A and B are shown apart, each in its own frame.
Chain A
Amino acid sequence: MTITAQTHVVNGKSIPAPEKVLEVKNLRVSYQTPRGPVRAVSGVSFFLTAGEKFGLVGESGSGKTTTALSLMRLIQAPAVIEGGEVLLGGKNLLALSEEEMREARSADIALIPQGAMNSLNPMMKVGEQLRDTVRAHINTESRSALGARILEVLDSVDLRSDVMEAYPHELSGGMKQRVCIAMGILLSPKVIIADEPTSALDVVVQRQVMETLGRVQQALGAAVLLVGHDMGLMAQFVDRVGVMYGGKLVEIGPVRDIFKEPLHPYTQLLIGSLPNLRTKEIFKGIPGLTPSLLTPPPGCMFHPRCPKALPHCAVEIPDLQEIRPGRWVSCHLYNGSNS
């Protein structure tokens, strides 16, 4: 596939490409099962620029969480990273040793995992867990500097310092999530991956947490990769969107463009099925079933359900191509290769 980054489109204006802080090239991850390999992520490529908010959106089975975990190299057997590169500030994370990767985690690239609120150790006070995160990386800092940094971070997520003395179960869902955000940004990473950070939260708390995340991200100048399935949340939070389907990226573009003018048929159907508060009409869902990643359909993964499928679509897998500056689509309708 071809990624050109000569120009970058932000808010409809072409500007010289800002620094690419994270670049994923042709990532391939599959799960080894007794029935054969399940291709969870097959050739995913995209990049993040400094300070931008990128939303990786897809339904269950699209490969988005696997992608996020692979960037952090937190994938475990039976899943295996089969190929590709993940370039963070120039170095390929997939080629690092385990020791080097551990240093990179949290310090350069941090993850706020799915159900993060439940990954807090119920037996330890919050303050202790925050200190642990820092201690593992910075052992030269003095005690007081550590403490000061933690308090600073807690304040930036709108938590009072007395949260340090609390146990996780004493906090509400939203507060626990903000503690997880705090843990993520403690070491000032350049990239924050947030995997469905608000899925268990109520809509009001969700907004608070997302606005908190947005604020700290801006203050840090870090890039955020928001992984999720809630298109509404994407519309509210991110600058650019990447749509995943069946383990592949089918469309990338600025958030307004994606919503106003979705190009890939899947994106079109997906956006068309979203409810909004303007009309009471129920929009159509997408017929058919999610594709089997064990025995994927030939050619384009989406063609069995695609209302605009061409005969060629069952034959050749379309490439992700930049058909306009800043707009990538993986569809034969656009890459002019339909014969």
Chain B
Amino acid sequence: MQLLEAQNVTKVFGSGLLGKGRMVAVDGISLAINEEKPTITAIAGESGSGKTTLARLLLGVIQPTTGSILFRGQTLSQMNRHERKEFRRQVQAIFQDPFEVYNPFYKVDQVLTTPVRKFRLAASREEAQQLIEESLRQAGLRPEETLGRYPHQLSGGQRQRIMVARALLLNPKIILADEPVSMVDASLRATILESLMKLKRELGISLVYITHDLTTAYQISENIYILYRGSVVEVGSVEKVIKDPQHPYTRLLVSSIPLPDPDIRWGSEVDIEKKAISASAAGAGLHGCKFANRCPFVMAECHVEAPPLYKTDDDRAVACYLHKQAEPISGREMALSLAG
């Protein structure tokens, strides 16, 4: 049974006829998370890739234009209030900005007491207090140093860890973490990532890790979806996709990572486009592969129609005609195959 599933979802923003003001943020993406197998799945891409929009679709905060989001086999848009509440209880999020997530009018406690109250996680005040303090400790914080304070009185790292504590408190089935460590200091990143991995190890919570940082994605996830301008260009086990990238865009991404090793400096295998006015506007055709105009391996057929996903390994697929000798597979089938 798939816990959370995106079936060929598309999200279009703005109105107007084709072209004018119409922006396709997510273009036919499928993704699946299995209930029985807690996993950490990464959704990686740069800005404009659609990863944040996909996250919001999965959270049910926005509705897809076409396609559906399913929770335990049930379409979100067809849920009644009770089912919606259950969904809300089981699918939670950790956000990027450790400051904006707090209402500056209230002490940080509010962000912990509110879900306890609304989801009836405790029977009494004392029980609630205990639950909150325990989850703070599990997130590596001391309750006496964090509770009762206003957001501006705590550091960014502490604030983010409170959010992790909140996730622990709720003990959902899935957490969507949208760039949880990008605004946190380097020395604290490892700690927070470790606590996220602990969530999966000890509580069996699946994690969807949305990021632009391939290194941390490699560190903590098992599977990864590489997004480019709303489409999945490569998907599979993180070991294969990152260590042996096949799609030209993935290769460009991986080679641009600033590795903290002065002996392994940026490669130059992929030509960097020069003098482009704007990568996204540079004559992107209506059909055809979205990466065609930046791809050093572009062929004629790339401009005609966007390539399907080709399953080049048991646990990996690439959307690129360079690998067209492999078996084509639909996004949905690949997602289900990965989820197991």
Over the window 210-235 of chain B, the binary record of Cβ atoms lying under 8 Å from chain A Cβ atoms (1 yes, 0 no) is 00111110111000000000000000
Cβ contact of A158, chosen from B192, B219, B266, B274, cutoff 8 A: B274
Q: Which stretch from B15-23, B99-107, B180-188, B309-317 is at the chain A interface? A: B180-188
Which listed residue (A235, A255, A274) contacts B186, Cβ 8 A? A274
Contact residues in B for A235 (Cβ distance below 8 Å): 258-262
Q: Which residues from chain A sit less than 8 Å from chain B, CB to CB?
A: 59-60, 158-160, 162-163, 170-173, 175, 202-208, 211, 229-237, 255-256, 259, 269-271, 273-277, 280-287, 289-290
> Separation in Å of the B145 CB from the closest CB of chain A?
9
Decide yes or no whether B24 CB sits under 8 A from chain A: no
**Contact of B266 with A202 in the complex, beta carbons under 8 Å:** no
Which residue from chain A places its CB closest to the CB of B258 in the assembled complex? Answer: A232
**Choice from A59, A232, A283 contacting B257 with Cβ under 8 Å:** A232
Q: Is the CB of B156 within 8 A of A203?
A: no
A259 contacts which chain B residues (CB < 8 A)? 260-262
Chain B positions within 8 Å of A202 at CB level = 46-47, 212
- Tell whether, in the assembled complex, residue A233 and residue B215 are in contact, meaning their CB atoms are under 8 Å apart: no
Query: Chain B, 163-191, contact with A by CB distance < 8 Å: what is the 0/1 string?
Result: 00000000000000000000001111111
Q: Does B193 contact A (CB under 8 A)?
A: yes
Partner of A283, one of B190, B218, B243, B261: B190
Contact status B279-A172, CB under 8 Å: yes
Cα(A202)–Cα(B45), bound, Å: 9
Q: What are the 10 closest A-B residue pairs judged by CB atoms, nearest first?
A: A285-B191, A232-B258, A202-B46, A286-B187, A285-B190, A59-B185, A207-B256, A232-B260, A236-B258, A273-B190
27 cross-chain CB contacts under 8 A: A59-B187, A60-B156, A162-B277, A202-B47, A203-B213, A203-B256, A204-B252, A204-B256, A206-B256, A207-B258, A207-B266, A207-B272, A230-B258, A232-B258, A236-B262, A259-B261, A269-B187, A270-B186, A273-B187, A276-B215, A277-B214, A277-B242, A282-B193, A282-B219, A284-B191, A286-B188, A290-B155
B257 to A277, Cβ gap below 8 A? Answer: yes
Q: Does A275 lie within 8 Å of B219, measured CB to CB?
A: yes
Interface residues of B (CB under 8 A from A): 46-47, 155-158, 185-194, 197, 212-216, 218-220, 242-243, 252-253, 256-263, 265-266, 272, 274-275, 277-280
Query: Of all chain B residues, which has the CB nearest A163?
Result: B277
With both beta carbons as reference points, the residue of chain B lying nearest to A283 in the complex is identified as B190
Query: Are B187 and A203 touching (Cβ within 8 A)?
Result: no
CB-defined contacts of A171 to chain B, threshold 8 Å = 277-278
Chain B residues, CB < 8 A from A284: 190-191
CB within 8 Å for A274 and B262 given contacts A159-B275, A204-B252: no
With A203-B253, A204-B46 known as contacts, the answer to whether A282 contacts B190 (CB < 8 A) is: yes
Q: Looking at the complex, which one of B191, B212, B265, B277 makes contact with A203 (CB distance below 8 Å)?
A: B212
Partner of B263 from the list A158, A172, A256, A269 (CB cut-off 8 Å) is A256
- Name the residue in A59, A271, A277, A287 with the highest tally of chain B Cβ atoms < 10 Å from its Cβ: A277
List, in ascending order, chain A residues with CB within 8 A of B187's CB. 59, 269-270, 273, 285-286
- Using CB atoms, name the residue of chain A closest to B219: A275
Q: Chain A residue with minimal CB distance to B197?
A: A282
Q: Which A residues lie within 8 Å of B218 (CB)? A: 275, 277, 280
Q: What is the chain B residue whose CB lies nearest that of A270?
A: B187
Bound Cα distance from A231 to B190, whole angstroms:
14
CB distance from A233 to the nearest CB of B (A): 5
Q: A275-B190, A275-B219, A282-B219 are in contact. Are A60 and B258 (CB under 8 A)?
A: no
CA distance A173 to B116 in the complex (A): 42
Q: In the complex the two chains form, is A236's CB within 8 Å of B194's CB?
A: no
With a CB–CB cut-off of 8 A, which chain B residues contact A269?
Answer: 187
Cβ–Cβ contact B188 & A285, under 8 A? yes
- Contact assessment for B262 and A256 in the assembled complex, using a CB-CB cutoff below 8 Å: yes
Q: With A and B bound together, what is the CA distance between A236 and B277 in angstroms?
A: 26
In the bound complex, how far is the Cα of B267 from the Cα of A279, in angstroms?
20
Q: Give the residues in chain A near B253, CB-CB below 8 Å.
A: 203-204
Residues of A within 8 A of B155 (CB): 289-290
Inter-chain contact A233/B186, CB cutoff 8 Å: no
Q: Are B259 and A172 in contact (CB under 8 A)?
A: no
Which chain B residues border A275 with CB–CB below 8 Å?
189-190, 215-216, 218-219
A231 / chain B contacts, CB cutoff of 8 Å: 186, 260
Query: Closest CB-CB distance, B273 to chain A, in whole Å?
Result: 8
Q: Give the residues in chain B near A232, CB-CB below 8 Å.
A: 215, 257-260
B194 partner residues in chain A, CB cutoff 8 A: 282, 285
Q: Which of chain A's residues have a CB closer than 8 A to the CB of B262?
A: 235-236, 255-256, 259
- Report chain A residues within 8 Å CB of B272: 204, 207-208, 211
- Bound-state CA distance A281–B194 (Å) is 10
Residues of chain B within 8 A of A282, CB atoms compared = 190, 193-194, 197, 219-220
Shortest beta-carbon distance from A126 to chain B in Å: 12
Cα A168 to Cα B261 with chains together (Å): 35
Question: Which residues on B sit within 8 Å (CB–CB) of A203?
Answer: 46, 212-214, 253, 256-258
- Chain A residues contacting B258 (CB-CB under 8 Å) are 203, 206-207, 230, 232-233, 235-237
Min distance, Cβ A155 to any Cβ of chain B, angstroms: 9
In the bound complex, what is the Cα–Cα distance between A234 and B258 (angstroms)?
8
Contact across chains for B215 and A277 when beta carbons are under 8 A apart: yes
Contacts of A233 in B (CB 8 A): 258
A235 to B257, CA, bound (A): 11
Q: Which of A172, A208, A281 has the most CB of B within 10 A?
A: A172
Across-interface contacts of A229 in B (CB, < 8 A): 185-186
A234 to B266, CA, bound (A): 12
- A257 to B30 CA separation, bound complex (whole angstroms): 46
CA A94 to CA B213, docked complex, whole Å: 40
Partner of B260, one of A172, A276, A281, A287: A276
> How far apart are the CA atoms of A35 and B243 in the complex, in Å?
52
Least CB distance from A39 to B in Å reads 18
